[in-house]
Amino acid sequence: MILTDSLLDFFLETRQTSEDLCKPLEIEDYVVQPIVDVSPPKWHLGHTTWFFEEFILKPHCANYQEFDADFSFVFNSYYETVGKRVVRSDRGNLSRPSVKKVYEYRAYVTNHIKTYFETNPAKELHDLLEIGIHHEKQHQELLLTDIKYILGNNPLLPEYSATFLDHPIETHQQEWIHMEEGIYGVGHATEDFCYDNELGRHKVYLHPYEISNKLVTNGEFTEFIIAGGYSQFDLWHAEGWDWVNQNKVVSPLYWHKIDGEWWHYTSSGLKMVDGNSPLTHISYYESFAFAQWKGCRLPTEFEWEAAQSYFPWGKRWEWTESAYLPYPNYQKAPGALGEYNGKFMVNQKVLRGGSVATPNNHTRPTYRNFFQPPLRWQFTGLRLVK
Amino acid sequence: MILTDSLLDFFLETRQTSEDLCKPLEIEDYVVQPIVDVSPPKWHLGHTTWFFEEFILKPHCANYQEFDADFSFVFNSYYETVGKRVVRSDRGNLSRPSVKKVYEYRAYVTNHIKTYFETNPAKELHDLLEIGIHHEKQHQELLLTDIKYILGNNPLLPEYSATFLDHPIETHQQEWIHMEEGIYGVGHATEDFCYDNELGRHKVYLHPYEISNKLVTNGEFTEFIIAGGYSQFDLWHAEGWDWVNQNKVVSPLYWHKIDGEWWHYTSSGLKMVDGNSPLTHISYYESFAFAQWKGCRLPTEFEWEAAQSYFPWGKRWEWTESAYLPYPNYQKAPGALGEYNGKFMVNQKVLRGGSVATPNNHTRPTYRNFFQPPLRWQFTGLRLVK
Amino acid sequence: MILTDSLLDFFLETRQTSEDLCKPLEIEDYVVQPIVDVSPPKWHLGHTTWFFEEFILKPHCANYQEFDADFSFVFNSYYETVGKRVVRSDRGNLSRPSVKKVYEYRAYVTNHIKTYFETNPAKELHDLLEIGIHHEKQHQELLLTDIKYILGNNPLLPEYSATFLDHPIETHQQEWIHMEEGIYGVGHATEDFCYDNELGRHKVYLHPYEISNKLVTNGEFTEFIIAGGYSQFDLWHAEGWDWVNQNKVVSPLYWHKIDGEWWHYTSSGLKMVDGNSPLTHISYYESFAFAQWKGCRLPTEFEWEAAQSYFPWGKRWEWTESAYLPYPNYQKAPGALGEYNGKFMVNQKVLRGGSVATPNNHTRPTYRNFFQPPLRWQFTGLRLVK
Amino acid sequence: MILTDSLLDFFLETRQTSEDLCKPLEIEDYVVQPIVDVSPPKWHLGHTTWFFEEFILKPHCANYQEFDADFSFVFNSYYETVGKRVVRSDRGNLSRPSVKKVYEYRAYVTNHIKTYFETNPAKELHDLLEIGIHHEKQHQELLLTDIKYILGNNPLLPEYSATFLDHPIETHQQEWIHMEEGIYGVGHATEDFCYDNELGRHKVYLHPYEISNKLVTNGEFTEFIIAGGYSQFDLWHAEGWDWVNQNKVVSPLYWHKIDGEWWHYTSSGLKMVDGNSPLTHISYYESFAFAQWKGCRLPTEFEWEAAQSYFPWGKRWEWTESAYLPYPNYQKAPGALGEYNGKFMVNQKVLRGGSVATPNNHTRPTYRNFFQPPLRWQFTGLRLVK
């Protein structure tokens, strides 16, 4: 159990970090939503604030005056339990509330939370506060990837930051780690914070496998492109093949071929693709096709978890072969918080690891991220198994 | 022919007016595009500027330095002649160039045009300058209607301006003007500016008709609603009936029923509907159905033009029964300017008159506006004929 | 007024002809609906029968026993007045009633109509019978064009009939007919049968024009193709240009380029395109673009009607520049029959003339056919004006 | 290894059975395709024949004369390896080849296969023949479910067969079977025929569970309906909830509420729903929501396989919670046959068991059927676990 003081510090640091991430933005950048999966930055700032207001201040803080009654409608995301909401595809149509007003809303709610917890030594709401902090940290990652999409799809290709380097390099030699057949434990086991979908520590039986200690690189994927991987149907799932053809996909997201060379948009602007850097912004379909082409496969999420202590990870969210399903004895939380994870457990793939956009300490070996197979705007990557 | 001096004044006044119209906006309001027909205000400001740069400065002004080579891509609207362009539905996805940059672009081009015409007494480009001015005036009207849509579809319903009153009243008595059978002349006849679609003054034969000297009011249309007009299929065109049902239309755009009363969003905020004010924000389909219900019909554009001097007009663009078609001997202008009107002459309806959003002197008795039948975001209205 | 005897003969001949047109079909051909505009032949046979049952036998024939109560649902087309109906796009999903049952239905209704009119000398229902006959004749034309589409889009390209030649030749020299400026009368004037949309004989003022005495040929259109007409945006309406690009249109419907030569599917199978034969199966958009390319234009429906006695016509429905609108003082018929024409008077184009598929005596100089601009499965054609 | 004689008998019996299943059909019933998932019966008859021609006769039978070169295009289903094909959604647009021609094609290919194997004692092609037989047996199940859909969505609701009873009853008492925690073996282990997706017998670790010995009944599901299960969002996956609302789902497929009672279309016509009969024609989403409502869950495919010998099964394909994924060491077959299973291993759910429409001996404890979550036209059902 985290003590109140450090929890409050954690809260305040988190609130500040979200705003720091937006420092390089023009006001206009806060507003747009180029695709449905990407939310406007001001929406992230408002929604994470609404979460504290809706689940802590309004139900538990006796004399709390709501900042603006309409904000509940504007900043609710998908919680059916708590009333109507702006449909997701409409977020980019809302010029108001203004960015200035959203920052006022943030300050107002942050202060009320601070005052409340300073004057309320009771521990009952610490869990709620903690989940709100983690919720905001998740949105910090989305802020970075959504901003990248907003700027990276603008014809002017503006830079986000000269110092946020989203293309690190793994310098170690590629090797295959041999994992023995047997029973392994998976799922969250400690007292630390985790989401409900990680709970229910349980046993799985794994057959022997070899897992790479290194992520697939841009260089390796370029060979796949040159070898015609995007036009060889037998490497792809049927729906992956349809996706390639309908969207005319010929490279990872953000890649541009200029005068015969591959460049890509990065958070620090348009750069030449570095063959040594780990591949990113690929769909599950592309990960699978690449693995097929190499005569390998993707790990299951259990294989990944069992082996993760033997290799460095955390630069890329890694696609696994596992579908996002409940663990045995999974129990979703009651009420609105129960809508957090469980209702998405169909037709999504599990990703393991973390990424350059993940806040410090916001991932762990048991963390289960999940996305639909075609999505590419996250810092996704892949690791091979054979 | 307008002398250069007054033409330049006209130019500078027009440039200033566009910016004045945007004074009440927050920066965020400049960016969004809630439906494909509505463009972001900053796009209007940029596009009208690009028009002068693309058609006057770049081809005719020897040492002109383009402001930014990418802007041609960003601010071209539909001119196939002059290269690639951002597709219309993507305009609201562009956070950059920033509003500040767009205003710099405006100042830069305005100054270059000013200098050029001050130092160039030759008359050859006056026609181009004049069409550019009228083009910008057209966009001033769109600015007002697009801003109304942006604010009027925001759940916070922010006011645009306390002084722009978009719901004037016609105080005179309704009467039927009798028009005699015979040959009438239609089309533009003077030396003043007009668009190519008004040219080719010609004769039409009209049969006798009675036309109202007054626009249909909110009060009359409310009776139609109460009488069940939106659910009586035999009042509607087949495709109008489909439109009503697919979009669940039960009232004009911007109307809200609150506690049994009709309110509507106006440029000065949410107001109770005034029964005496002329109806607006209706589609052609609704106009037609209302006329059917009254046992009347809409005028043709020729009937309107022949009778227009006998009644006041200019508050609402009035739907006519006429399809938007070329006049006899219509000739479209050569090159990119020829794309202005002619290529839209199919599946649109002519509207005559003008509206509260139309700039001063920007309409005339022969002006032919045109929209697809379902569109409602303009200040449309209707006048009956029997 | 047609006497009963000859009207009954006319009825019986019409009923027989519909069935004769289907003689070459396999049972399977009666069932399919490859696009929404094409109805299954058995639906045409049933629907024309239902018309007599619904509008004559059920309301007027005292002891009439309905053939099957479900058929009203199955065979109603678009009459909102008379209850629910199978949606148009679902007609090809209905394997039942079987073709055999539909023929039994036809015989049953034909016999009841025959008996009724033989024993009922009263004249009140003659108008209804006559409109039912003309309605069936209209469907005979659709039968031929729909069958052509069904067979012509089958990869096996089966022949419909060796004797129905849908590609006649106009052997006369092309000449321009000069028409004088002045007032002309248009609309139906005699006592003979016509539809409500032709009524209201009225005056129009025409400016001088020259109209071709000959339809545009395949040879002329092939020159347009070779000249790159399908890829020159400035020849097209904006929505025509979108249509070309979205549908990748490069030739008239049914044309196939095989080893560098143009072939087309005809009712008698795949044949080489004959340059001397009048062009057919083109959209309004293509007609317009071709005329632009020739420096000409399409006639209005009034120009066509005023000049039609000076040239042969009837092989192709000819696209006109006119939108399909009501004539002055147009009155739609009361009740369900009023749904026949009026509710389609928006966003369609008028075609004049008739075609090789039009039954004998089923067209006339004032007949107004109408289709949406992109439709091509009728035997459409074009005639130039300058 | 099956001896040739009995394999040939198996082949001939299978060919005959497919035709017997179609005996009750009218010719028209063979042609239609009311939804994309349902293929026309004549397509099934042709496609199963093409499989033998394409994979056995054409490559291996020296002097074989192809029946019709166009049939390869018409009857290929999804094999990218073997050339172009009619897109799936167009199958119902093809009136030709006629049903008669398809039966001739069947006889022709059946005879050539028979002659070939009678005169060719070599064993190399037995595996291909066997897979072709199983392929046809799979299509026999689809024939029955597709015919049900074709007739059950016809407004006349015609009966398929008075003797095929698709609503059997499980008469035994419901009990919970307790399964111990531990390691279980899953996957195909014997020499008998199976598909590649069942191979790779391997170990899984299961935690303790209780599984019902009885399928959920119509009566139980009716309680769910009455309790408002279709309108309680928290029982559903997010995408299931969208599916319910977009499709306005209020009951299983084929159910109709008539005068307050639930009826359903069965293969022997419209019948009152029997509360004791096992529920069928439900989606995965509905199965999941029902289980949530009962405080239970669906079994994984491994739990099902481990327990299946303790309960009767085979009346309904049972939805499981498992996603359709490759087993460890899954190897897809080389060439076109490799397209059979592997390329569908994303975004589908596994169903276990079999159904009243499954041919004799065509299922087994390790058989893995798979469908997308919303599909309902198969005889799907569910079994609870707690």
Per-residue pLDDT tens for B20-50? 999 999 999 999 999 999 999 999 999 999 9
Residue of D nearest to C72 (CA): D155
Question: How many angstroms separate the CA of residue B91 from the nearest CA in chain A?
Answer: 10
Over range D161-188, report the average pLDDT: 96
E strand or H helix at B380, and its extent?
Answer: strand B380-381
Q: What is the pLDDT of residue D4?
A: 63
Provide the mean pLDDT of chain B: 94
Tell me which residue in A94, A151, A155 faces B73 most closely, judged by beta carbons: A155
Q: Do D31 and C31 touch (CB under 8 A)?
A: yes
- The answer to whether residue D80 neighbours chain A at the CB level (below 8 Å) is yes
**What's the pTM?**
0.95
At A382, give phi and psi (nearest 5°).
Answer: -150, 155
Q: In this structure, what DSSP letter does residue B216 have?
A: P
Top residue of D36, D204, D234, D243 to mutate, by most chain A CBs within 10 Å, is D234
Tell me which residue in B34, B42, B158 faces A96 most closely, judged by beta carbons: B158
Please tell me the distance from the alpha carbon of residue D129 to that of residue A61, in angstroms, as a whole number. 74
Please tell me the distance from the alpha carbon of residue C47 to that of residue A226, in angstroms, as a whole number. 59
Residue C97: cis peptide before it, omega within 30 degrees of 0? yes
Q: Give the angle subtended at the CA of C36 by the CAs of C32 and C42, to the nearest 5°.
A: 35
Tell whether the model's pLDDT for residue B298 goes beyond 60. Answer: yes
Tell me which residue in C78, C202, C288 faces B207 most closely, judged by beta carbons: C202
Structure tokens at B348: 């649109």
Confidence of residue D338 (pLDDT cuts 50, 70, 90): confident
pLDDT in tens, B225-258: 999 999 999 999 999 999 999 999 999 999 999 9
Tell whether the model's pLDDT for residue D2 goes beyond 60. Answer: no
Question: How many angstroms separate the CA of residue D28 from the nearest CA in chain C?
Answer: 5
CB contacts of D151 in chain C (<8 Å) are 95-96
Q: Do C95 and D151 touch (CB under 8 A)?
A: yes
Question: How many angstroms separate the CA of residue B223 from the nearest CA in chain A?
Answer: 32
Smallest Cα–Cα separation from A204: which of D302, D320, D299? D302
Q: What's the fold here for domain D176-381?
A: paralog of FGE (formylglycine-generating enzyme) (3.90.1580)
Confidence of residue B339 (pLDDT cuts 50, 70, 90): confident
Please tell me the distance from the alpha carbon of residue D379 to that of residue D145, in angstroms, as a whole number. 7
Cβ neighbours of residue B225 closer than 8 Å, sequence gap 6 or more: B250, B251
Q: How many other C-beta atoms can be found within 10 angstroms of the C-beta atom of residue D252?
A: 21
CB contacts of D37 in chain C (<8 Å) are none
Q: Are D277 and D218 in contact (CB under 8 A)?
A: yes
Q: Which amino acid is at C354?
A: G
pLDDT in tens, D188-241: 998 899 999 999 999 999 999 999 999 999 999 999 999 999 999 999 999 999
Which residue spans within chain A are E strands per DSSP? 176-179, 182-186, 202-206, 209-212, 255-258, 261-266, 269-272, 317-323, 349-353, 369-371, 380-381
Residue of D nearest to A346 (CA): D237
pLDDT in tens, D282-323: 999 999 999 999 999 999 999 999 999 999 999 999 999 999
- The answer to whether residue B128 neighbours chain C at the CB level (below 8 Å) is no
Over range A161-169, report the average pLDDT: 92
Torsion of CA A74, A79, A81, A86, to 10 degrees: 30
Q: In what order do the strands lie in the sheet with A380-381?
A: A369-371, A349-353, A317-323, A380-381
Smallest Cα–Cα separation from B138: which of B365, B361, B386, B373? B361
Cβ neighbours of residue A236 closer than 8 Å, sequence gap 6 or more: A244, A285, A288, A289, A292, D343
Provide the mean pLDDT of chain D: 94
- The answer to whether residue C237 neighbours chain B at the CB level (below 8 Å) is yes
Residue D97: cis peptide before it, omega within 30 degrees of 0? yes
Q: Which of B287-291, D197-201, D325-329 has the highest mean pLDDT?
A: B287-291
DSSP notation for C216-262: PBHHHHHHHHHTTGGG-GGGS-HHHHHHHHHTT--SSTTEEEETTEE
Please tell me the distance from the alpha carbon of residue D358 to that of residue D353, in angstroms, as a whole number. 10
Q: Do B323 and C328 touch (CB under 8 A)?
A: no
At B326, give phi and psi (nearest 5°).
Answer: -70, 145
Radius of gyration of chain A (CA): 22
- The answer to whether residue A339 neighbours chain D at the CB level (below 8 Å) is yes
Least confident of A88-92, B110-114, C17-21: A88-92
CB contacts of A288 in chain D (<8 Å) are 346
At B185, give phi and psi (nearest 5°).
Answer: -95, 135
- Domain spans of chain A? 4-152, 176-381
pLDDT in tens, A309-324: 999 999 999 999 999 9
Q: Which amino acid is at A234?
A: D
Q: Do A204 and D205 touch (CB under 8 A)?
A: yes
Q: Give the angle subtended at the CA of B281 by the CAs of B275 and B282, to the nearest 5°.
A: 95
Structure tokens at B375: 């569109």
Q: Do D32 and C94 touch (CB under 8 A)?
A: yes
- The answer to whether residue D78 neighbours chain A at the CB level (below 8 Å) is yes
Cβ neighbours of residue B65 closer than 8 Å, sequence gap 6 or more: none
User: H helices of A218-352, where?
Assistant: 218-226, 238-246, 284-293, 301-307
Residue B179's Cβ-side half-sphere holds a number of Cα atoms within 13 Å equal to 25
Measured between its terminal Cα atoms, the distance across chain D in Å is: 41
Residue C121: cis peptide before it, omega within 30 degrees of 0? no
Smallest Cα–Cα separation from A99: which of A31, A21, A173, A14? A31
At A260, give phi and psi (nearest 5°).
Answer: 80, 0
Tell whether the model's pLDDT for residue B337 goes beyond 60. Answer: yes
User: What ipTM goes with this model?
Assistant: 0.95
3-state secondary structure of A383: coil
Question: How many angstroms separate the CA of residue C287 from the nearest CA in chain B?
Answer: 13
3-state secondary structure of A297: strand
Top residue of D202, D343, D345, D371 to mutate, by most chain A CBs within 10 Å, is D343
CB contacts of A233 in chain D (<8 Å) are 80
Question: How many angstroms separate the CA of residue A236 from the nearest CA in chain D?
Answer: 7
Q: Are B36 and A93 in contact (CB under 8 A)?
A: no
Over range D332-350, report the average pLDDT: 85
In angstroms, what CA-CA distances link A212 with A137, A228, A363, B296, D294?
Answer: 29, 24, 21, 79, 44
pLDDT in tens, B138-195: 999 999 999 999 999 999 999 999 889 999 999 999 999 999 999 999 999 988 999 9
Please tell me the distance from the alpha carbon of residue D152 to that of residue D280, in angstroms, as a whole number. 14
Rounded (10°) angle between helices C126-152 and C4-21: 10
Residue D121: cis peptide before it, omega within 30 degrees of 0? no
Residue of A nearest to B33 (CA): A93
Please tell me the distance from the alpha carbon of residue C281 to that of residue D358, in angstroms, as a whole number. 48
Please tell me the distance from the alpha carbon of residue D95 to that of residue D85, in angstroms, as a whole number. 16
Tell me which residue in D27, D92, D153 faces C32 most closely, judged by beta carbons: D92
Q: Matching CATH topology for B4-152 and B176-381?
A: no
Q: Which residues pair with B271 in a beta bridge?
A: B264
Instruction: Show pLDDT as tens, one digit a residue, over chain C (386 residues).
Output: 455 679 999 999 999 999 999 999 999 999 999 999 999 999 999 999 999 999 999 999 989 999 999 998 899 876 776 667 777 888 999 999 999 999 999 999 999 999 999 987 677 789 899 999 999 999 999 999 999 999 999 999 999 998 899 999 999 999 999 999 999 999 999 889 999 999 999 999 999 999 999 999 999 999 999 999 999 999 999 999 999 999 999 999 999 999 999 999 999 999 999 999 999 999 999 999 999 999 999 999 999 999 999 999 999 999 999 999 999 989 887 777 777 788 999 999 999 999 999 998 889 999 999 999 999 999 999 999 99
Structure tokens at A306: 């069992």
Q: Are C321 and C297 in contact (CB under 8 A)?
A: yes
Tell me which residue in C92, C98, C155 faces D73 most closely, judged by beta carbons: C155
Confidence of residue B2 (pLDDT cuts 50, 70, 90): low
Please tell me the distance from the alpha carbon of residue A314 to that of residue A369, in angstroms, as a whole number. 12
Q: What is the pLDDT of residue B1?
A: 45
D122: left (phi over 0), alpha (psi -120 to 50) or beta: beta
Tell me which residue in C29, C73, C86 faces D95 most closely, judged by beta carbons: C29
Over range B292-314, report the average pLDDT: 98
D176-179 vs B209-212, strand pairing mode? unpaired
- The answer to whether residue B4 neighbours chain A at the CB level (below 8 Å) is no
Neighbours of chain C (3+ CB pairs under 8 A): B, D
Q: Are A94 and B154 in contact (CB under 8 A)?
A: yes
Length of chain B counted residue by residue: 386
CB contacts of D331 in chain A (<8 Å) are none
Instruction: Please report the residues numbered 37 through 56 in chain D whose beta carbons come closer than 8 angstroms to any beta carbon of chain C.
Output: 42
Q: Are B240 and C345 in contact (CB under 8 A)?
A: no
Question: How many angstroms separate the CA of residue A140 from the nearest CA in chain D?
Answer: 23
DSSP notation for B268-293: TEEEEPPTTSBP-S--HHHHHHHHHH
Q: Do C154 and D99 touch (CB under 8 A)?
A: no
Domain B4-152 has CATH 2.40.50: no
pLDDT in tens, A95-144: 999 999 999 999 999 999 999 999 876 777 898 999 999 999 999 999 99
Q: Which amino acid is at A40?
A: P
- The answer to whether residue C338 neighbours chain B at the CB level (below 8 Å) is yes
- The answer to whether residue D322 neighbours chain A at the CB level (below 8 Å) is yes
Q: Are D198 and D343 in contact (CB under 8 A)?
A: no
Q: Are C91 and C33 in contact (CB under 8 A)?
A: yes
